Structure 1
Amino acid sequence: MDTRTAHTSELAAGELREVRDLLDAAFDGDFADEDFEHALGGMHVLVREDGRLVAHGSVVQRRVLHRARALRTGYVEAVAVRADHRRRGYGNTVMAALEAVIGRAYVLGALSASEDGAGLYLSRGWAVWPGRIGTLSPDGPVRLPDEEGSTYVWTPPGGVRLDPAGRLDFDWRDGDVL
């Protein structure tokens, strides 16, 4: 197994195509162009076995407003493992590398998890955010009740302490905000 961590700017066009193909297959074609765009501009973890891409994840910077403070947040995107390589530890390998990036560069980690992915994140110490979730939309703050219960946070050593009674408002972006 070969694991590489690299910024989007360091990935060749062919590597980005491999990542997109992996994501399309892993999400059964339910990975939109906007979803791929959300995964770019930060750090990627690529795991290869015998030269073939078998797992991926990325972390991008987001701003999260909490208790009137804008937090530099490492937001995890596009975590996927090839279907024929699942349950072999590749997801843990990807997350360990992403958490290392978050721990060095951010005060908070966050992600939105599917039901299928939730177990991985919980097993690594990520926690479901118990409070309200929102976004800072072009029209002002908007609550996102559909994201409550599927948004996870992780505080790296030396990171920020969150007030669970407070709301997390994520910066706006096109497509799915979270």
Structure 2
Amino acid sequence: MRTQVHTARLVHTADLDTETYHSARDMVSAAFGGEFTDTDWEHALGGMHALIWHRGAIIAHAAVVQRRLIYRGTALRCGYVEGVAVREDWRGQGLAIALLDAAEQVMRGAYQIGAIKSSDRARRMFALRGWLPWRGPTSVLAPTGPTRTPEADGAVFVLPIGISVDTSAGLMCDWRDGEVW
């Protein structure tokens, strides 16, 4: 078993060279079993990427992008986590924790709240890191107006930064193509 400490390097989308951009995209797609769409990748662009390399190959990726979450009538500046992936042969080595360390550094420096729609298997990790499960109803500010997103209920986790939130209240995300949360 590998016993090394991993540190993610933070790089803005604008500073990714072509090779790194495509290598990250390919690794994330492979980690998701080919179910990571072009729209999903688009969601991960425009912010900071946390990347971990081993011998020149990207083995882990996460991104933090700016979104707006509407909470009790206030549009909060949110660092939203996208594209969290660890290459299959490197899972269980602490790389996801290193990715989140970097992502949370970005959030604490630039946002009021962090958020993610978590997979079932990652929920425990977020809870152990102090992220709060959102227990209230979720929705999206769609082009047609506020629309409930019951498929996201119970899957959204938030990391409040210098603010207090009532996780039983409603939470609304901004609109985007594809999966809105």
134-143 vs 119-128, greater mean Cα deviation: 119-128
TM-score, normalised to structure 2, is: 0.94
Residue 119 of structure 1 deviates from its aligned partner by: 2.5
In structure 2, the residue matched to 1:135 is 140
Q: Deviations over 1:6-26 (max 9, x none)?
A: 100000111111111111111
Distance 2:123 2:80 in 1: 15
Q: How large is the RMSD of aligned CA atoms in angstroms?
A: 1.1
Aligned pair partner of 1:37 in 15, 18, 42: 42
Distance 2:24 2:7 in 1: 15
**C-alpha contact 1:2 1:48 (8 A) present in aligned 2:** no
In structure 2, the residue matched to 1:18 is 23
Where do residues 101-140 of structure 1 align in structure 2 (5 Å cutoff)?
101-140=106-145
Please tell me whether residue 71 in structure 1 is matched to residue 54 in structure 2: no
Please tell me whether residue 60 in structure 1 is matched to residue 39 in structure 2: no
In structure 2, the residue matched to 1:152 is 157
**C-alpha contact 2:65 2:80 (8 A) present in aligned 1:** yes
1:100 maps to amino acid: Q
2:157 maps to amino acid: Y
1:33 maps to amino acid: D
Alpha-carbon spacing, 1:87–1:172, altered in 2? closer, same or farther (3 Å): same
TM-score, normalised to structure 1, is: 0.95
Residue 161 of structure 1 deviates from its aligned partner by: 1.2
In structure 2, the residue matched to 1:162 is 165
- Unmatched 5+ stretches in structure 2: 1-5
Distance 1:164 1:98 in 2: 21
Q: Alignment identity in percent?
A: 43
> What is the number of residues matched between the two proteins?
176
Residue 2 of structure 1 deviates from its aligned partner by: 5.8
2:167 maps to amino acid: P
Q: Deviations over 1:55-85 (max 9, x none)?
A: 0000000001111100000000000000100
In structure 2, the residue matched to 1:49 is 54
**C-alpha contact 2:85 2:96 (8 A) present in aligned 1:** yes
- Unmatched 5+ stretches in structure 1: none
Distance 1:110 1:29 in 2: 24
Residue 122 of structure 1 deviates from its aligned partner by: 1.9
Distance 1:68 1:155 in 2: 16
Distance 2:74 2:7 in 1: 39
Query: Where does structure 1 differ by over 4 angstroms across 4 or more consecutive aligned residues?
Result: none
